[in-house]
Chains A and B, each alone.
Chain A
C-alpha cells in the first residue's frame, strides 16, 4: 500500500484512478512552463506543478488534478491555476461523475504574486461553476503542505473534503501568525498544536472535512468513490447556504472561551479529547460518525 503523503502528484493520480485509464492534458512533454520564474532564477517544472487528467474511478468517468507539493510548495501560479480552470471548464462540457482535486499547496505562488492571486480566484469561481452545472467537486487533502492560503478557501467550495490525519487545512500558516502576533499567539514549532488546529482530525470533528482516511492512496480512492456516489446534488442552493450560515454562527457561539481545539472537541461531545491524536483512522472515523449531528453542513 503506497503512502499518499510520500507519493508524488503523478503517482497519486495514477494509483487513485483505475489502472491504465489516466489520460493527461498538457503533459510535461508539452513543456508549458511558468513565464515568470526565469527572471527570478527559479527552476521551472514541465507541468508547472500540477497534473490535469481524465480517467475512471471504479468504472465511472472523472476529471482529476493533482498538485505537486514538492514544486515551490505546490503553490499556484498563472499556468498552474489556468490548468485547474481549464479542467473545471471541461467538466461543465463533459459532465463527468466528479472532479477530484488532490490539493497539496501553500496557496498563491508568491513568485507570481498578482497572477497567482487572480488565478486562485478564477479557480474558485470555476469550482462553483462546475458545481452549478451539476458536477460534484471533491477535495482530497493529505500532502506535506496541507492546503492553505486561497486554496484553503477553494477546498471549502467543494462538495466535500476528504482528509488524512497527516493533512492540514486552513488559511494562514502557523509561521505567518507567529510572525504577526508572537509565539504566545501561536507557537509554530508546537507540532501537536498545529495539527490540533488545522489537521485532518480537527477538521473532521468540526465538519469542515467530511471524513478522515488512512494515509494510503487506496484509502483516498475508496473514500472518493463513496463520496462521489453519495453526492446528491452538486449545485449551490439558498436553503443549504442559509443552513450553513446558521451552523457557522452557532460554531462561534459554541466555541466562545475555547482556547485550545481540545476544548472545542469536548464541547462537541468527544469523551476523551486527549486520546484523539492516538486513534487510528478507522477508530477515529467510528467516533466521529457517532458525534456527527444534523448540523453538518453540506452546502
Chain B
C-alpha cells in the first residue's frame, strides 16, 4: 500500500499548499479557509531516526517562535523507529522525547495540533508524533500497529495462530485504523472530502487528553479511564 503524500495534500488543501519533501521529511504551510497552517511530517514509510525526529521538532519550534497560535498538522507515514546502533548510541529516545515535548509546548502555547496517519504508523515512529497531537485521525486503509504478528508471537511466546485468531475479533491485537478508533487512540477515520474533515477538526480544538474516555465510550478499553480515575481519587473503580 503506497499512498502518495501529494495526493493526500491535494485532497486536504484544495486552496493550495507549500509543502516540500526532503528525504522523506515533509514541511511547509498550507491554506485552510484562508488561514495558514503549518504542516510537518514524513513520507515514504521512512524509519524515524535522530535526524528526522530533530527536524520535525525544529519545524514545530519555529512555528511556535515565529507564528504564535498557528495550527499545526502532522502527516504521518512511517515504518517505525530506525533500528540502528548509531541511533541508540546517540539516544534516539531523547530525540523523540524532544519532539514530543515540542508538540506539548505548542499545545501549551495555544496551538491546535492535529495528526493524520495517511499510510503507515508503527510504534516508535508514531508515539511522539501522531500520538502526541490533540487528536489523531487516519485514512481508512492506514496501517497502524505496534508490531507484526509473527514478531509478536516470537516475543510473547504465544503461538502466532492464537494471535491471528484473536485478532479477528479483538481490537487489542489487530492492526488497523478501526481498532485504534474503537480503543480511543484515533479520534475519527476520514473518508470522502478530506478538506471538509480538516476544517471541522480545526474548528474544534481540545487540549485535554480524552482518549481513555473514548476507549470507554466505544468499548475498546473498558478499564483505562476508570483505573486512572480510581488512582487519581484514591478510591475504588467508578462504575462503567
Asked whether any CB of A lies within 8 Å of a CB of B in the complex, the reply is yes
Where the two chains meet, the residues of A that have a C-beta atom closer than 8 Å to any C-beta of B are 25-26, 30, 32, 35-36, 39-42, 52, 54, 78-79, 81-83, 85-87, 89-90, 93, 108, 110-122, 124-126, 128-129, 132, 149-150, 152-157, 169-172, 174, 176-177, 180-181, 185-186, 197-198, 202-203, 206, 208, 235-238, 241-242, 244-245, 248-249, 251-252, 255, 258, 261, 264, 299
Contact A128 B101 (CB under 8 A): yes
Contact A156 B93 (CB under 8 A): yes
Interface of A is mostly: helix
Contact A157 B65 (CB under 8 A): no
Contacts of A90 in B (CB 8 A): 231-234
Of B7-15, B21-29, B32-40, B56-64, the stretch lying at the interface with chain A is B56-64
* Bound Cα distance from A299 to B57, whole angstroms: 13
What is the size, in residues, of chain B's interface with A at 8 Å between Cβ atoms?
78
Q: Which residue of B lies closest to A184 (CB)?
A: B85
Interface membership of B118, Cβ < 8 A:
no
Interface membership of B156, Cβ < 8 A:
yes
Identify A118's interface contact among B81, B211, B223, B236, CB under 8 A.
B211
* Bound Cα distance from A111 to B89, whole angstroms: 28
* Bound Cα distance from A41 to B57, whole angstroms: 42
* Bound Cα distance from A299 to B158, whole angstroms: 41
Distance from B32 Cβ to chain A, minimum over Cβ atoms (Å): 25
Interface membership of B43, Cβ < 8 A:
no
- Given known pairs A236-B108, A244-B98, A252-B54, the reply for A170 and B147 (CB within 8 Å) is no
Interface membership of B237, Cβ < 8 A:
yes
* Bound Cα distance from A52 to B228, whole angstroms: 11
A170-B91, A249-B54 provided; 7 other pairs, C-beta below 8 A?
A82-B231, A110-B152, A114-B183, A118-B180, A125-B209, A236-B101, A245-B98
Contacts of A237 in B (CB 8 A): 105
Total cross-chain contacts (CB, 8 A): 251
* Bound Cα distance from A241 to B106, whole angstroms: 11
Identify B237's interface contact among A32, A112, A132, A264, CB under 8 A.
A32
- Given known pairs A40-B158, A113-B173, A238-B109, the reply for A83 and B236 (CB within 8 Å) is no
* Bound Cα distance from A89 to B188, whole angstroms: 25
Interface membership of B202, Cβ < 8 A:
no
Q: Which residue of B lies closest to A48 (CB)?
A: B227
Contacts of A203 in B (CB 8 A): 91
* Bound Cα distance from A85 to B232, whole angstroms: 8
* Bound Cα distance from A206 to B50, whole angstroms: 15
Contacts of A261 in B (CB 8 A): 89
5 shortest interchain CB distances as A-B pairs = A86-B231, A156-B97, A82-B227, A152-B93, A86-B228
- Given known pairs A78-B221, A150-B124, A241-B101, the reply for A114 and B172 (CB within 8 Å) is yes
Contact A245 B146 (CB under 8 A): no
Contacts of A208 in B (CB 8 A): 91, 93-94
Identify A110's interface contact among B100, B156, B180, B232, CB under 8 A.
B156
Contacts of A41 in B (CB 8 A): 158
* Bound Cα distance from A116 to B145, whole angstroms: 11
Contact B230 A26 (CB under 8 A): yes
Indicate the member of B185, B223, B225 with the most A CB atoms within 10 Å: B223
Interface membership of B206, Cβ < 8 A:
no
Contact B212 A85 (CB under 8 A): yes
Contact B57 A117 (CB under 8 A): no
Identify B51's interface contact among A52, A110, A152, A252, CB under 8 A.
A252
Contact B146 A176 (CB under 8 A): no
Interface membership of B164, Cβ < 8 A:
no
* Bound Cα distance from A25 to B230, whole angstroms: 8
Contact B179 A122 (CB under 8 A): no
Q: List 25 A-B contacts (CB under 8 A).
A: A35-B222, A54-B234, A78-B223, A79-B224, A79-B227, A82-B228, A83-B231, A87-B231, A89-B228, A112-B172, A113-B152, A113-B172, A115-B183, A122-B224, A124-B100, A126-B209, A149-B124, A197-B85, A203-B91, A206-B91, A238-B109, A244-B101, A249-B54, A252-B51, A261-B89
